[in-house]
């Protein structure tokens, strides 16, 4: 049985950034375990060529508010650009009436050239990748003496067991307590708080249509739209910095309704809405993508099938008065005190989690 000082559960941006912070402190005695066969978690970018990728997960950040994330992106040398907002937005209230054009007033947001996958790739490039284990899912944590035994399901369905002094939970709290058995059990009230914390992105689905030219801009439109008709409830310009044009939208149908359609059928409905809003040039995208996060069992649980109201309120990251106290620490975005459920929250929660490890020893 291999033993590590730290084990990180989850290879999204919070888990990867936590590993980066450990390595920056000169610590290499860790293992990051990811259930998926790729890293990134809820940062998912679909690549159409070597330079262009379009985000199906987190898309924007707000540099004037989210300064830590902005600094991280800058320090990693990534290129950013403003979300396109020139021109008017469309408001669609009924199929029987033409959409209304309105001026767009939104806070300045930015995107990363190459999609948010570029941030994942950059962090990974800074890590010793021998400490990353893909396609292995943590299924049980057993606390024994001063160690936690980490039981992991392997791709061949066999089980491996690792040992660690400290567990960093970089997956959503609801997913953690729904898919991992804790022995002994977590305190009931603490477990309920984790179960009741909505998982950011989990109920949603995104559609992207990629074009050669941003024809909506020729109509003095920003590409933004809000619709009461659907299927897309909210639409934005998703064009890359110096390549293809694109529109993306959040599908307004709830998860249970989306299950009645195939991705092809949903894409057809979304495309016809774009034609309705932006004209016939929307009829022939060169690429289309759909990501339904509610169908992703490595992100969403049954409790995540209905949208939450607003971003989640951060739960306690470790139980008090328990054998698990400070032995498991939640560091996914949901644990961020200021940006819970945002990309900036993942960076903040990972930073605070690592800081708490070392404040105990100082």
The CB-based long-range contact list for 102-108 (8 Å cut-off, 24+ gap) reads 104/222, 104/224, 106/224, 107/62, 107/64, 107/65, 108/62, 108/63, 108/64, 108/82, 108/83
Tens digit of pLDDT for each residue in 129-139? 999 999 999 99
Q: What is the mean pLDDT of residues 303-329?
A: 88
Q: Residue 35 in contact with residue 298, Cβ under 8 Å?
A: yes
pLDDT at 362: 47
Tens digit of pLDDT for each residue in 234-279? 999 999 998 899 999 999 999 999 999 999 999 999 999 999 999 9
Q: What is the mean pLDDT of residues 226-231?
A: 96
Domain ranges for the chain, please list them: 1-44+116-202+297-362, 83-108+203-295
Confidence of residue 339 (pLDDT cuts 50, 70, 90): very high
- Give backbone dihedrals phi and psi of 23, rounded to 5 degrees, phi first: -65, -35
> Cis link prior to 184 (omega < 30° from 0)?
yes
Tens digit of pLDDT for each residue in 8-21? 999 999 999 999 99
Buried b (16+ CB within 10 A) or exposed e, 241-252: eeebbbbbbebb
Beta strands 45-47 and 137-144 are: unpaired
Helix/strand/coil for 239: coil
Q: Residue 150 pLDDT > 80, yes or no?
A: yes
Least confident of 105-109, 131-135, 154-158, 218-222: 105-109
pTM across the whole model = 0.95
CA distance 42 to 36: 11
Q: Residue 123 in contact with residue 11, Cβ under 8 Å?
A: no
Chain-centre distance for alpha carbon 60: 11
Tokens for 246, please give them.
Answer: 């694109």
Tokens for 82, please give them.
Answer: 């403003």
Q: Residue 361 pLDDT > 60, yes or no?
A: no
Q: What is the mean pLDDT of residues 108-124?
A: 96
Q: Which CATH superfamily is domain 1-44+116-202+297-362 in?
A: FAD/NAD(P)-binding domain (3.50.50.60)
pLDDT at 223: 97
pLDDT at 360: 59
We find that the CATH architecture of domain 83-108+203-295 is: Alpha-Beta Complex (3.90)
DSSP β-bridge partners for residue 210: 246, 287
CA distance 215 to 282: 8
- Give a three-class secondary structure readout of 33-80: ECCCCCCECCCCEEECCCCCEEECCCCCECCCCCHHHHHHHHHCCCCE
* H helices present in 76-203, as ranges: 117-125, 173-179, 188-195
Nearest to 93 by CA among 85, 101, 84: 101
The pLDDT mean for the chain works out to 95
């Amino acid at each position: 049985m291999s033993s590590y000082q730290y084990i990180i559960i989850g290879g999204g941006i919070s888990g990867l950034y936590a590993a980066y912070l450990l390595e920056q402190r000169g610590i290499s005695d860790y293992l990051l375990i990811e259930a998926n066969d790729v890293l990134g978690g809820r940062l998912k970018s679909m690549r159409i060529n070597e330079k262009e990728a379009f985000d199906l997960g987190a898309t924007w950040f707000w540099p004037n508010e989210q300064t830590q994330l902005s600094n991280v992106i800058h320090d990693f040398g990534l290129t950013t650009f403003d979300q396109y907002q020139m021109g008017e937005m469309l408001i669609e209230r009924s199929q029987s009436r033409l959409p209304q054009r309105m001026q767009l007033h939104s806070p300045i947001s930015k995107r990363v050239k190459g999609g948010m996958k570029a941030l994942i790739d950059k962090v990974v490039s800074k890590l010793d990748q021998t400490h990353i284990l893909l396609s292995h899912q943590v299924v049980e944590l057993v606390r024994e003496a001063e160690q936690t035994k980490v039981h992991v399901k392997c791709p061949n369905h066999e089980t491996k067991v690792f040992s660690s002094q400290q567990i960093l939970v970089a997956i959503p709290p609801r997913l953690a307590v729904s898919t991992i058995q804790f022995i002994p059990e977590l305190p009931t009230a603490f477990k309920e708080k984790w179960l009741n914390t909505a998982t950011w992105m989990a109920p949603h689905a995104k559609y992207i249509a990629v074009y050669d030219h941003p024809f909506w801009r020729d109509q003095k439109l920003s590409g933004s739209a809000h619709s009461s008709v659907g299927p897309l409830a909210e639409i934005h310009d998703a064009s890359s910095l110096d390549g293809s044009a694109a529109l993306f939208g959040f599908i307004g149908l709830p998860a249970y309704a989306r299950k009645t359609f195939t991705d092809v059928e949903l894409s057809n409905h979304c495309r016809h809405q774009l034609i309705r809003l932006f004209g016939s040039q929307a009829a022939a995208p060169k690429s289309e993508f759909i990501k339904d996060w509610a169908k992703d069992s490595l992100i969403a649980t049954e409790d995540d099938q209905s949208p939450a109201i607003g971003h989640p309120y951060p739960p306690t990251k470790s139980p008090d008065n328990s054998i698990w106290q400070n032995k498991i620490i939640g560091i996914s975005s949901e644990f961020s005190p200021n940006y819970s459920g945002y990309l900036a929250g993942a960076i903040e929660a990972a930073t605070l989690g690592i800081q708490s490890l070392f404040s105990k020893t100082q």
